[in-house]
A = this chain, B = another copy of it.
Amino acid sequence: MAGRAAVPEVIWSRPERTGRGPRPAYTRADIAAAAVRIADAEGLDAVTMRRVAAELGCGTMSLYNYVPRKEDLYELMMDAASGEHELWEPSGDWRADLIRVAHQTRALMHRHTWLPRLMSPVYGFSPNALRYLEHCLACLDPFEAPYGTKMELIAMVNGVVTTYVGNEIATVERTRSLPWSQEQENAVRIAYLGRQVASGAYPRLAASFAEDAGPIDLEGVFERALARVLDGFA
């Protein structure tokens, strides 16, 4: 009887090492790093139990000693990513600090493009996630409001950043493993969209397309969205 748990477990609540038995060959950090390396290089879908085990150099099922379910592997990845947040001494200007946080998160997501897809409140309890949250709260010390409001503000900023960067990435990333290029896909979609719009059924949409346009400034869109969210709280 190997005693596999029939009760929910947060991976962080079980000790990494109990003392009994042979010394484990890898640490959680090793495993997280391997998974992150794969996801960065080959996309999130390449992160399989077999692939991660191979990357570590052990048998597939050995991984299950460290990580009871695949979801927990994701949790390790998210924690490792959270750990990359640089934390600083708050400046006293909470608005500026929060903008800095958002930009850092955006950069982090561009470095690890699988992050938006995994982002979920479920992973908000890992050690590094808590540290990050505490840091956000520290930045908000000068913001006079109950903690409930501060939490709502942080959630809103994180949500908007995730949504926007997720969209930035999705349109680029989607065709990674497909047999055609990004440009081909876009061309087909735009051609179709043009046909629909030209049908006259969507006059305002047509007007919107006619309006200049020019290349979309992703950075600008992000910046404006962020500013509006912060304005909404002031």
Which chain A residues have a beta carbon within 8 Å of chain B's beta carbons?
6-10, 12-13, 120-122, 125, 127, 130-131, 133-134, 137-138, 141, 146-148, 150-152, 155-156, 159-160, 162-164, 167, 170-171, 174, 178-180, 184-185, 188-189, 191-193, 195-196, 201-205, 207-208, 211, 213, 221, 224-225, 227-233
Contact = CB atoms under 8 A, between A and B. Distances in A.
Given A148-B211, A202-B130, A224-B152, A179 B6 contact: yes
A178 B8 CA distance: 9
Contacts of A138: 204
B12 A192 contact: yes
Chain A interface, DSSP helix/strand/loop, else mixed: helix
Contacts of A196: 125, 127, 130
Contacts of A192: 10, 12-13, 125
**A-B pairs, 6 with minimum CB distance:** A228-B232, A232-B232, A147-B208, A137-B204, A159-B163, A231-B232
